[in-house]
Amino acid sequence: MRTTRDRIRHALMFEVIGLLLAIPLGAVLFDKPAHDIGVVAIFTSLVATGWTYVYNLIFDRVLLRRQGHAQKTLALRVVHSVLFEGGLLMVSLPFIAIYLNIGLIEALIMDAAFVVFYLVYSFAYNWAYDAIFPMPTPPVSSRGTETGGAQASSSASQ
């Protein structure tokens, strides 16, 4: 499991790099001022930052319980990204419509474009992050099991 510090680094890097890419692309694609796209993107980013931490913690714990480790296969990475973006959509859609004073259909199209962008970006970012910052492996006893019992679980959740 990743430490709290690592999860914070992961979330902050994800959002900063994503904003640097999404704001200019969104302004050009939707013919809206970069400022307006920036407000929408930053609001969504702030919500997504908190959601990233909570969602990844829950997702990794579910994986750990189900398969004994939190390593993600290609299929799990796809599921991970789709579920993450679906949860974020529920919050961002009403905000986009209200802030930009546009209809829900136009907001949905705009949000869908951001979802597609972040779906691809999330997949690539998380794959690269895992390669650059590999997940620590828990110590293994001579019997081939994790050492530390409850203490190891407690440490792993930090």
Domain ranges across the chain: 4-137
Reading the block at residue 82, the tokens are 């789709």
So what's the pLDDT on residue 141? 60
What are the φ/ψ torsions at residue 124 (nearest 5 degrees)? -65, -45
Residue 68, phi-psi category: left (phi > 0), alpha (psi -120 to 50), beta (remainder): left
Give the per-residue pLDDT at 112.
86
What digits encode the pLDDT tens for the residues 13-72? 998 999 999 999 999 999 999 999 999 999 988 888 888 888 999 999 999 999 998 888
Contact, 129 vs 17, CB < 8 A?
A: no
pTM to 2 decimals? 0.61
pLDDT for the residue 140: 66
Of 55, 62, 18, nearest to 37 by C-alpha is 18
Per the DSSP assignment, residues forming a β-bridge with 146 are: 140
Ramachandran angles phi, psi of 140, nearest 5°: -115, 135
Residue 155: per-residue pLDDT: 44
% pLDDT > 70, the chain: 87
Q: Which of 41, 11, 7 is nearest to 26 (CA)?
A: 41
> What span, in angstroms and rounded, lies between the C-alpha atoms of 81 and 76?
9
List, for residues 92-140, the tens digit of each pLDDT value: 889 999 999 999 899 999 988 988 998 899 999 999 999 999 988 876 6
